[in-house]
Amino acid sequence: MLRRIKGQSTLEYAMIIAVVVGALLAIQIYMKRGLQGRLRESSDQIGEQFDANKTTIERTTTHTGKTVQTVLKGEIKTTTESDERTLSGKDVVEAW
């Protein structure tokens, strides 16, 4: 009789484990969809995605500085001091 009760409790534990595993497998799809939705929402908040056909870069380069050349014993030494540098302009990136 005692053997029969042990076998019954083992069967009950196996059934509980099978139900839990089945439930986890069933909700796995919904969990993936929820995670993908949150990732998509986060990427949409960042801004538009990269599109090679619609990408332009604007830049202008302005450089203000002073270059000094000195000649000592037949050697030319060049020194450049940069005061300000600004970049802007326009480039178009196209698809391959």
Domain spans in the chain, listed from the N-terminal domain onward: 2-89
pTM, rounded to two decimals: 0.36
Give the model confidence (pLDDT) of 20-39 as tens digits.
999 999 999 899 999 999 99
Tell whether the torsion through CA atoms of 71, 76, 82 and 85 is positive or negative. positive
| Residue-averaged pLDDT of the chain | 77
Contact status, residue 63 vs residue 82, Cβ threshold 8 Å: yes
**How is residue 2 written in tokens?**
């005692």
Percent of the chain with pLDDT over 70: 60
Instruction: Extract the residue ranges of the chain whose pLDDT is less than 50.
Output: none
